[in-house]
Structure 1
Amino acid sequence: MSKKYVRRMLRQMESGEPVQLTIAMMTMKGLARLAFLAEEFGYAYADVQMTGDNKVVLSVVPDSSPQARERAAKNRQRYPDAYDGLSLPPVVPDAVELLRARMVFDLDRQSTEKQRLTIAGLAITAVVWVNGYRFADSTVGVVIAVSVWAGLMALLPAGIAVRRHYDARSAAQLDAAGFTMVTDGSGRLRYMPPGGPLPGHGSPFAGGA
């Protein structure tokens, strides 16, 4: 979890307004830790989505619940230098894992399997074509390019299977923790924490970042 993003997020949260943080590169665990930190200071995880240029947008919104306000007040008193990324509340592994599971599920619902296969197939074809074009005059080069293309395309179903596995595991974690599956304003399936608001009720990011 980059201190740069921690500082940026916490400083934007000082406004008390919804925050969207665009992140160029970070693991799912790092994203979950950022969301956890936001929740330690009076915000709640709202959504995470992938952009067209392979960046991630993390959305958090103010949490008006009494528990969140009390937690934020205590943490602001205990960690006055948190907004500089110097002193932060300790990470709670179970809470971070549940946030990570929500994010995995949310990202997986951003597009359908057919859309992902199409995008991946077009990307593979484009990369192989661009690199293979340089060897178009060579029979061996063409054969190699076609073989590489076929091999990569054959791996796509395996990638989908792996994604299904992680998606199912995340859903099982959230079910076991008492989260509820709901449909947001855009028709996307989401998991809401026990007692949390439905998408579209109190979250300005519901239905899309």
Structure 2
Amino acid sequence: MGKRRVRKMLRRMESGEPLELTYSMVTMKGLVRLALIAQQFGYEYEAVGQVGQGGFVLRIVPDPGPEARALAAENRERYPHAGDGGALPPPVPEAAELLKARMVLDLRRQFSTGQRVALVVVGFAAASLGFGFELSKDAATALTIAGVTWSSLMVLVTVPVALGRRLAVRSAALLEAAGYTPVPDRNGRPRYLPPGGRLPGHGNPFAG
């Protein structure tokens, strides 16, 4: 995860307003790390969504809770140069696992099963075309190779969908074991409520 992204996020957080941070070419690990850093400085994770080809939007909001305010004040004192690329609070593995589980479920509910299958099919088609034209500059030959490759990959179309479903089940079990409770958000979509907490944005004067 680049220091430039951390610096930009921390500087935008100085506004005290809800933020939507758009990233391309970022891993799940990078998104989790960014959200964890935001939580160390007075914000909390609200949601993550997928946009475009490989892009993500990370939404974070100010955390009005007294514990969050106290932690943010402590970290600003201990890490005064964090926004300038200086030292950052160390990551907490347990918190990272829970946050990753929440992100997995948030991303999963963005698309239906049918939409996920369609995305896999389109992805296979794009990969097959790229492979075909990599092997041959002749259009007819390249398209033939792509067609054969795509037909072979279609046998595996249900694999990533099944793996995603298994990951979602494990993520939900991890959250529930940690005391999180599934509740509907303001749009009626299922979210996981932290123990003794509220959905992000509730009671927040900046929340829309």
TM-score normalised according to structure 1 size: 0.87
- 1:54, distance to aligned residue in structure 2 (A): 2.3
Gaps of 5+ in 2: none
1:7, distance to aligned residue in structure 2 (A): 0.4
Is the CA contact (8 Å cut-off) linking 2:44 and 2:200 kept in structure 1?
Answer: no
Q: Describe the shift of the 1:156–1:171 C-alpha distance in structure 2 as closer, same or farther (beyond 3 A).
A: same
Q: The residue matched to 1:195 in structure 2 has which SS?
A: coil
What is the CA–CA distance in structure 2 between the aligned matches of 1:169 and 1:27, rounded to whole Å? 20
- Per the alignment, residue 76 of structure 1 pairs with 76
How big is each residue's C-alpha offset from its partner over 1:80-126, in whole Å with a ceiling of 9 and x where there is no partner? Answer: 00111211111111111111111111111110111111232234345
Q: Which residue number corresponds to residue 115 of structure 1? A: 115
Question: Are the aligned partners of 1:183 and 1:199 in contact in 2 as well (CA < 8 Å)?
Answer: no
Partner of 2:157, secondary structure, is: helix
Q: Is the 8 A contact 2:16 2:62 kept in 1?
A: yes
User: 2:29 and 2:127 mapped to 1: Cα distance?
Assistant: 30
Residue 99 of structure 1 corresponds to which residue in structure 2? 99
The alignment's C-alpha RMSD in Å is 2.4
Q: How many residues align?
A: 203
Specify the code of the residue in structure 1 equivalent to 2:30.
G
Instruction: Using the TM superposition, give the Cα deviation of residue 185 of structure 1 relative to its aligned residue in structure 2, in angstroms.
Output: 2.8
Alignment of 1:34-183 (within 5 A): 34-125=34-125, 128=128, 131=132, 134-136=138-140, 142=144, 144-183=145-184
The one-letter code sitting in structure 1 at the alignment partner of 2:21 is: L
Contact 1:20 1:60 in 2 (8 A): yes
Matched residues, percent identical? Answer: 50
Distance in 1 between residues matched to 2:202 and 2:156, nearest whole Å: 41
Whole-Å Cα distance in 1 between the matches of residues 35 and 197 of structure 2? 16
Match status 1:201 vs 2:188: no
Structure 2 counterpart of 1:58, which letter? Answer: L
Give per-residue Cα distances to partners, 1:126-174, cap 9 Å, x unaligned: 56468579543x5x963x4332111111111011111111111111110
1-structure distance, mates of 2:112, 2:182? 18
CA distance in 2, matches of 1:199, 1:73: 20
CA contact (8 A) 2:40 2:72 kept: yes
CA distance in 2, matches of 1:81, 1:146: 54
Deviates more, 1:74-83 or 1:197-206: 197-206
Gaps of 5+ in 1: none
**Distance verdict in 2 for CA 1:62–1:150, change over 3 Å:** same
What is the CA–CA distance in structure 2 between the aligned matches of 1:188 and 1:87, rounded to whole Å?
37
